[in-house]
Structure 1
Amino acid sequence: MTNIATTPEHKPRPMLDLILSIVLPSVILMKFSGDEHLGATGGLIAALAFPIGWGLFELIKYRKFNFIALLGLVSVMLTGGIGLFELDTQWLAVKEAAIPAIIGIAVLVSTFTPYPLIRTLLFNPKVMDVDKIKQKLEENNSTEAFDQRLMKATYLLAASFGFSATMNYILAKWIVTSPAGTQEFNEQLGQMTLYSYPMIALPSMVMMIGIFYYLWRTISGLTGLKLDDVMAQPPEKK
Structure 2
Amino acid sequence: MQKNDSFSNILFNILIPVLILNKGHKLGLEPHYAVIIALAFPVYFSVQSLRETKKINFIAVLGLMNVLVSGALTLLALGGIWFAIKEAAFPLLIGVFVLISSWTTKPFFKTLFMNPSTFDIAKIESKLETETNRQRFHQLMKHTTQLLSVSFLMSALLNFGLALKIFEPLAESLTDSQKQELLNQQLGQMTLYSLVVILVPSILFLGGIMFYTFRRIHQLTGLTTEELIIKS
TM bucket (normalised to shorter chain) is 0.7 to 0.9
Match 2:42 to one of 41, 55, 73: 55
1:120–1:145 distance in 2 versus 1, CA, 3 Å: same
Q: Tell me how far apart the structure 1 counterparts of residues 62 and 10 of structure 2 sit (CA, whole Å).
A: 20
Match 2:67 to one of 67, 76, 80: 76
RMSD in angstroms over aligned alpha carbons? 3.0
**Alpha-carbon distance, 1:72 to partner:** 2.3
**Alpha-carbon distance, 1:109 to partner:** 1.2
The residue that corresponds to 1:112 in the other structure is 103
**Alpha-carbon distance, 1:16 to partner:** 5.9
Equivalent residues of 1:172, 1:192 under 8 A apart: yes
Match 1:187 to one of 185, 188, 205: 185
Per-residue CA deviation, residues 23-71 of structure 1 (Å, 9 max, x unaligned), is 5543345x56xxxx65xxx2x3354455433333433445453213311
1:19–1:67 distance in 2 versus 1, CA, 3 Å: closer
Question: 1:176 is aligned with what amino acid?
Answer: F
Q: State the TM-score, normalizing by the size of structure 1.
A: 0.76
Question: 1:161 is aligned with what amino acid?
Answer: F
Which is worse superposed, 66-75 or 179-188? 179-188
Question: 1:125 is aligned with what amino acid?
Answer: P
Q: State the TM-score, normalizing by the size of structure 2.
A: 0.78
**Alpha-carbon distance, 1:212 to partner:** 1.9
* Structure 2: gaps (5+ residues): none
The residue that corresponds to 2:22 in the other structure is 26
1:170–1:55 distance in 2 versus 1, CA, 3 Å: same
The alignment partner of 1:112 has SS state of: coil
Which is worse superposed, 82-91 or 113-122? 82-91
Question: 1:174 is aligned with what amino acid?
Answer: K
Which is worse superposed, 166-175 or 132-141? 132-141
Instruction: Report % sequence identity.
Output: 34
* Structure 1: gaps (5+ residues): 1-7
**Alpha-carbon distance, 1:172 to partner:** 1.1
1:151–1:221 distance in 2 versus 1, CA, 3 Å: same
